[in-house]
Amino acid sequence: MCFLKVSSFLSLTLTSFVGLFDSLAGSEFIMKEIVKCFDFAKDGIHAVLVVFSVGARFPEEEVATLRRLQALFGDKIVNYMIMIFTGGDNLEDDKPTLEDYLGSECPQPLQNLLLYKYDCSWIMFFTPYFLCLVFSLCVPLECFNSFFFTLLYLRFFTFEYEGYSSDLEFLTQCENRCVLFDNKTKDEEKKFQQVKKLLSFVDMIISQNGGRPYSNEIFTVLKEEDIKLRDQRLMADFMKRQSETEIMDFGKQMQETFDYQVTLNLEEVIKSLEQQLLEEKTARCKSEKKAKTAQLKSEKEILTFRGDLGRAEVELRKRVQNGCVIL
């Protein structure tokens, strides 16, 4: 699950893997969560926060399995660790300081974790009482005014040891990078100073490690796989765009063919109509010419008849005048 919190100087993405390395969780579930973990941190880790809860119970049976984190992240992960203690308000209520708590007040299993010699060859985190947060910076290392954090909540912490030491060997390994957080304080300045101290440690780790995020073979493989996946997606998008272009071109071609056929058919219809009109006009002209010829012939015949009739009338008058009447 991811949350994005944006302030004037910080963009934060939080990824929570509840139950990772839980002894009751199945191996298939754990492997899936590990893959998610590496996927979110495939660009490397700039800082790891090992988070303890002040006053929490630490059953002895859960302080035993330590190899998984070392197997996943490698031996040098300690160079990127910061110890975080939450519940500082509990210490304030009871008056002991963090140093007192680390010296005598904290549960025996936690004292064992802090007092036993830290063996880098067998580091492993495991228990629901601790949280490991992985920071992944994606901006220039020299400034904290604007950066992007990827935090992975990995519910594990416990590690095997060999030998003993009278000092806080684990904190020494972390160069005493330790921050106490008061969860209940309403003092904004105190909240700011707590975060400022944490970020100063992150900045210190980045500087001490030459600005290089922690990485190992797994991260390299994941990054290569991510590049391959990105290239495959780009190719798929390209092929999709090509297919869309081809479909558009095909549709355009079909439309052009359709328009051509429509135009061709229309031209044929127009040509047929014009031919029909021409034939009708020719037939009409022939009929008109024939009718005119017949009319002229009729008119000629009428004129001839009238001429004959006129001559007959003249001849009749002459005969009447001469006294010759025809019965």
Strands 161-164 and 47-53: unpaired
Question: What digits encode the pLDDT tens for the residues 49-89?
Answer: 777 777 655 544 444 444 555 556 666 777 777 877 887 77
Give whichever of 6-10, 56-60, 190-194 has the largest mean pLDDT. 190-194
Q: Minimum mean pLDDT among 117-126, 221-230, 248-257: which range?
A: 117-126
Q: In the structure, what pLDDT confidence band is assigned to residue 272 with cuts at 50, 70 and 90?
A: confident
Edge-first strand order for the sheet with 47-53 is 2-6, 10-17, 147-154, 131-135, 47-53, 81-86, 178-180
Residue keyed to tokens 């030491």: 165
173 neighbors 80 (Cβ within 8 angstroms) = no
Backbone phi, psi, residue 271, to 5°: -65, -40
152/36 Cα distance (integer angstroms): 10
What pLDDT, on the 0 to 100 scale, is given for residue 132?
36
Question: What does the pLDDT look like over 12-21, one tens digit per residue?
Answer: 555 555 555 5
Query: Does the structure show a pLDDT above 60 at 302?
Result: yes
Closest by Cα among 128, 154, 160 to 57: 128
Span 152-167, mean pLDDT?
Answer: 35
> pLDDT at residue 159 above 70?
no
**CB-facing half-sphere around the CA of 131: CA atoms within 13 A:** 18
Q: What is the pLDDT of residue 153?
A: 40
**According to the per-residue pLDDT averaged within each range, which of 16-30, 94-108, 202-216 is highest?**
202-216
> Per-residue pLDDT for 166 more than 50?
no
- 22-26, 141-145, 182-186: least confidently modelled range: 141-145
pTM (2 decimals)?
Answer: 0.48
- Calculate the average pLDDT of the chain: 66
- State the first-to-last Cα distance of the chain, in angstroms, to the nearest integer: 140
pLDDT tens, residue by residue, 131-155: 333 333 333 333 333 333 434 444 3
Instruction: Give yes or no for a contact between 34 and 20, defined as CB atoms under 8 angstroms apart.
Output: yes
Q: Of 174 and 123, which is predicted with more confidence? A: 174
